[in-house]
Structure 1
Amino acid sequence: MDFTFTEEQTLLRDSVVRALQRDYSFEARQSIVRSGTGWSPDVWARLVELGLTALPFPEDVGGLGGSVVDVVAVAEVFGEHLLVEPYDASIVLAGGVLAAVGRKDELERIASGEAIGALAHEEGRGTPDPSLVTTKAERSADGYALTGEKRLVLHGADADVLVVSARLDAGLALFLVDASAPVATRFTTVDGRRAAHLRFDGAPGTLLAADAEPLLRGVLDRAIVVLAAEAVGAMGGLLRRTAEYASTREQFGVPIGSFQTVAHRLADMKIAYVAARSTLLHTTALAEAGRLAPQDVAVLKAQVGRLGRRVGESAIQTHGGVGMTDELPIGHLHKRVLAVDAMFGGTDHHLRRLGAPRSPAATG
């Protein structure tokens, strides 16, 4: 099994790196986070121009027919640059569901960047387990009516296309809901993304898929792989910036990187980063081969969460108090790692998930 990126994927990564280095400096990113929208339509247009919004979708909806490996390749770059645009919400989550159920009209709009999508699924229990969904869908004269509340919906108040999971009879179903129907409580996450809590009070919905739990689990597992790639990218940024700082910051007339304690800390950071990235590449290869099992996803999520926290804390310790200020990227990169760990189940949740009997490959 090949754990390296192809020449085409490397070229794609390089083009994304160049674009973000030119248009998405840390200072520019901070201005975007503080803006009224919290993300940049101009940057989004640049991602569309690069083909990134069309990357994972079939050609018959205007996509490029890319794979999960292609998305992981660019997600690492997004993580290091702390991207706050709605790529995960629109392309990975909502787009993943719409592609799985074959909704071409909405998918064409999302692939072209014309529409922003969002998936409303979690309900505040700290786990993505579909069996815990309590939002209800009832049949009405016009179709279905949804009642319940969804928490931490990435770009939930920005969405043009809103996908919602809800309990229908005894099973879990997925619905398309008018994005203006729910009552939205907007907020900014700890790592700078825009999100919302959404409350549905009889909101009309169009059924996308009944008995959708296996489908939704597959989409969420692939989304976790992409989020893990962002966290690994942030870990790489922490390691690089800390090594640069240790080689230039002097005490007693010598760089602090020459001190044994700091040198050992940097070595431990490098080991943790390499271990996390190796797990990411292995899991991505399994997904590409159609052999991704729930336990593989749990190992990845737990490994990246645990090691990412270690890398972030070591980076802050090396920088001292300045590492936690808003003026440096270090604290923000650490927050991105922590935020990814909290999404769709934290480290402890996925360690418990590993205790379940191993099932055959069901996702990918």
Structure 2
Amino acid sequence: MDFTFTQEQQQFSDALRRWVDKDYTFDQRKKIVLSDSGTSDIAWTTLTELGMTALPIAEEQGGFNGSAIDMQVVMHEIGRGLVIEPYWSTMLGAQFLTLAGGHDELLEQVAAGALKLACALGEKQSRYDLFDIATTATAQGDGFVLNGTKTVVIHGAQAGMLIVSARSSGSRRDTAGIALFVLPATTPGVVLRDYRTIDCQRAADITFTDVALPASALLGASDAGWDILDAATDYGITLLCAEAVGVMESLNQATLEYLKTRQQFGVPIGKFQALQHRMADMFMHLEQARSMATLAAVKVTSTDPVERRRTVSAAKARICQAMKYVGQQAVQLHGGMGVTNELPAAHHFKRLSIIELTLGDTDHHLARFIAQPGFRQAA
């Protein structure tokens, strides 16, 4: 099988890489991190002009109808440059809108870069079980009333619209009885607490108190949101896998350069065979992760949900293992400098650590993989 990117995909990659290398350097990124919003309107405008916000959107809504493989190309460069703009959260939100259907106007705004999205899915008791929902959506008249709290909503305070999961019926941990809504972040009753995460991104805890929503805010059918939630978050995991490969690639390169310049006993430490072996192991982990990220991008749109879940969880579990190994080895090979904020390596490691914990860690996805039908053959 040929895994070579097409000419158009390579052009997308090259354009984004040139922008990162020229206008989104590590020093410029630090200034953005320390700003009040933690993001850059200039950077977002550039992403829009490069066509990144329109890439996965259908042509009917002003997009390019890009595939998950096309998005893999973009997320790889996002990871390589440690870009902290709300791109992933917006693309994940756009996938919810696409799967639900009927929200063409919002998708047109996303494609044009005029709308940022955030997905309020997790709660303090749910951990990685996104079907564990205590937030309630109570039918009232022709609409709904939303009450509850969502935690660690990535770029929640930077978004114009929120995708929210809520319990419309059933018990707290049922997959049935889940409803999804899209609502403006400024809706009365919505309170956001914005903060910086350890990887210098932004997140928010969001409280919904008697938030009145019209029927048009509902995504899909009431009580039947789990299939959309499950499929959309698998798409988000696939994007994270691609980003992780970009982060590891950049970290490997930085570590190799450090070994070539750092001297001990009058020679670069990269001359020591033991360290060469460790770099070779890091490279093998990276290449295995790259293969799994590509497989996930191929299978994430499968019409067979079992195949999709199995492949995406296998990819996330393997890539999480690679992230841990590559990150820890890179920090150790850098010595004490590897954990200082002055060095990009520390920021790479922090981003990898957060990616592992986003939408399921290694153990969660191993368990999910095992739970899929067909894993255990009947005796």
TM-score (norm 2): 0.91
Partner of residue 260, structure 1: 273
Q: 1:237 to 1:174 in 2, by over 3 A?
A: same
5+ long unaligned stretches in structure 2 = 171-176
* Counterpart code for 1:119: C
Check the 8 A contact 2:300/2:312 in 1, yes or no: no
User: Shift of residue 244 of structure 1?
Assistant: 0.8
* Counterpart code for 1:331: A
Partner of residue 199, structure 2: 191
Check the 8 A contact 2:292/2:315 in 1, yes or no: yes
Partner of residue 116, structure 2: 116
* Structure 1, 77-86 or 347-356: larger mean CA deviation: 347-356
Structure 2: how far apart are the matches of 1:288 and 1:214? 13
User: Shift of residue 359 of structure 1?
Assistant: 7.0
Structure 2: how far apart are the matches of 1:84 and 1:90? 12
* Structure 1, 280-289 or 236-245: larger mean CA deviation: 280-289
* Counterpart code for 1:338: S
**How many residues are paired up?**
359
Structure 1: how far apart are the matches of 2:157 and 2:301? 32
Partner of residue 135, structure 2: 135
Q: Work out whether 1:208 is the aligned partner of 2:207.
A: no
Q: 1:126 to 1:73 in 2, by over 3 A?
A: farther
* Counterpart code for 2:5: F
Structure 1: how far apart are the matches of 2:48 and 2:211? 31
User: Shift of residue 290 of structure 1?
Assistant: 5.1
Partner of residue 66, structure 1: 66
User: Shift of residue 25 of structure 1?
Assistant: 0.3
Partner of residue 174, structure 2: none
Partner of residue 334, structure 1: 349
Structure 1: how far apart are the matches of 2:83 and 2:152? 18
Task: Give % identity.
Answer: 39
Partner of residue 168, structure 2: 168
* Counterpart code for 1:101: A
* Counterpart code for 2:343: L
Aligned-residue CA RMSD in angstroms?
1.6
* Counterpart code for 2:100: V
Partner of residue 173, structure 2: none
Q: 1:203 to 1:2 in 2, by over 3 A?
A: farther
Shift >6 Å, 4+ stretches: none
**1:69-92 deviations in whole A, cap 9, x for unaligned?**
11111101100111110101112x
* Counterpart code for 2:32: I
Aligned-partner SS, 1:65:
coil
Partner of residue 273, structure 1: 286
Within a 5 Å distance, the mapping from 1:228-247 to structure 2 comes to: 228-247=241-260
Structure 2: how far apart are the matches of 1:104 and 1:218? 19
**1:34-77 deviations in whole A, cap 9, x for unaligned?**
11110100000000000100000111111111111111111011
Structure 2: how far apart are the matches of 1:127 and 1:17? 35
Q: 1:124 to 1:231 in 2, by over 3 A?
A: farther
User: Shift of residue 30 of structure 1?
Assistant: 0.8
Within a 5 Å distance, the mapping from 1:351-362 to structure 2 comes to: 351-358=366-373
Check the 8 A contact 1:2/1:285 in 2, yes or no: no
Check the 8 A contact 2:77/2:243 in 1, yes or no: yes
Check the 8 A contact 2:234/2:300 in 1, yes or no: no
